[in-house]
Amino acid sequence: MPGVVGVISPASIVKQINYELTGRSKVPDSDNEVREIMEKHGEDFSALIASSFPMLSSFGLVRLSTSSWQCS
């Protein structure tokens, strides 16, 4: 798409934080681990908040386990 200079998602932020903590660049398998990362590192998700710049957002739901949903 013309004009797109980068893409960021909740999953990419979780993967980066998990890499910094564990050396594994992946979304943890456990819902609890993901929740813990998001709660302890909430400020890292501020890049997902809309700014004054025009942007296109698209959200879909992906089933992670039998008990939770994640936006993608």
Say if 1 falls within a structural domain: no
At residue 67, the pLDDT reads: 53
Say if 4 falls within a structural domain: no
At residue 72, the pLDDT reads: 46
Domain count within the chain: 1
| Segments forming the whole domain that contains residue 37 | 10-49+58-71
Say if 28 falls within a structural domain: yes
Q: What is the pTM of this model?
A: 0.61
Say if 3 falls within a structural domain: no
Say if 2 falls within a structural domain: no
Say if 15 falls within a structural domain: yes
At residue 9, the pLDDT reads: 85
Regions in the chain scoring below 70 on pLDDT? 1, 4, 50-72
Residues whose CB is less than 8 angstroms from the CB of residue 62 and which lie 6 or more positions away in sequence, other chains included: 69, 70, 71, 72
At residue 54, the pLDDT reads: 53
At residue 2, the pLDDT reads: 72
Say if 5 falls within a structural domain: no
At residue 56, the pLDDT reads: 52
Say if 31 falls within a structural domain: yes
